[in-house]
Structure 1
């Protein structure tokens, strides 16, 4: 479902249906129709808009982590990479922060 969502929005952005930081209503409707039809689920514009906010938040986190020293990006697997020591140090910082 996520792949269809992102694929359609990427196409809509290329068409110019994303004039600023949000998509035009026609783009959101296209996603709603495609997901509803392909996956036989009840989908509406609010679902798409909420998921778009989630994706944007996740992407901001990914960009922040990628900008930190010791982290990289595997473009084939579309994931953040690092050595174990870097991961352990980052996990410890997060653990101390939340505790």
Structure 2
């Protein structure tokens, strides 16, 4: 059995942003997911985490605080949940 780490590192989480633009964000690191799990649930911290994550998009689009402040709570939760969910999925099914 071979687990192709290169293939896993090339995968992205794809989002359709609120302006209709599709962005592709590389899989988050375990370190980043740990930040989410340990963070306080303040809006400021949530915005920081979202910015850190989405600003790694392969398109090179730069998001600012105003961009994430426009998101509602469901959208914000969906972004961070996607990051956490992908890591959990890989941990549970490494050959997927």
Do these two structures clear the TM 0.5 threshold for a shared fold by scoring above it?
A: no
Q: Which has the larger radius of gyration?
A: 1
TM-score (norm 1): 0.32
TM-score (norm 2): 0.32
